[in-house]
Structure 1
C-alpha cells in the first residue's frame, strides 16, 4: 500500500516539477539555436541589445545607440530574442 502511494507521489512530482522544466529548457535551447545576427535580445541582467556576432557559445551584443558599447557574453545569458522585423 505504501509503495503505491510512493509511486503516485513520484508521478505527480514528475508532472508538476520535472516535465515543465524540461519543456522550458528545450524551448530555451531552440531559441538560442535560432539566434541570428541583428536579432534584438534581452539578457539575464535586464539589458536589451542587438546581436553583432555569434560564435559557438558566445555572442557579441551592442547596447544602445553607442557603437562602442559592444560586450561579449555567453549565449546562456540571453533570456529572450526577437527578430527585428517582427514588430
Structure 2
C-alpha cells in the first residue's frame, strides 16, 4: 500500500516538473540571453507596451528614448523589456 502511494507521489512530482518547472526555466534562460545581448541602438518593446530605442545601458537599468522627439528619455529596469529587435537586423 505504501509503495503504491509512493509511486503516485513520484509520478505526480515528475508530471509537475515537466509541465510547470522545466518550461519556466527554459523561458528564463531565453530571457537572460536576450537581455545579455542588448546593445545601444536596439529597438525594444517594454512589458507595458511602449516601443523605444536603447540609449544607454548600466548593470540593471537601461535608458530608453521613446517617440519622435528626442527629449523623452526614461530610465527603466532591464526586466521591463519584453522584446528586442537588433539595430542591424535588416542588413
TM-score after normalising by structure 1: 0.97
- After the TM superposition, which segments of 4 or more aligned residues of structure 1 sit over 4 Å from their partners? none
Q: Which residue of 2 aligns with 1:77?
A: 80
Aligned to 1:52: 55
Q: How does 1:31-50 map to 2 (within 5 A)?
A: 31-50=34-53
Matched residue, 1:23: 26
Gaps of 5+ in 1: none
Q: Deviations over 1:3-43 (max 9, x none)?
A: 00110001010000000000000000000000000000000
The CA RMSD measured in Å over matched residues stands at 0.7
- Give secondary structure in 2 for the equivalent of 1:86: coil
- 2: distance between equivalents of 1:84 and 1:31? 14
Alpha-carbon offset, residue 86 of structure 1 = 1.7
Structure showing greater radius of gyration is 2
Structure-2 separation of matches of 1:75 and 1:43:
9
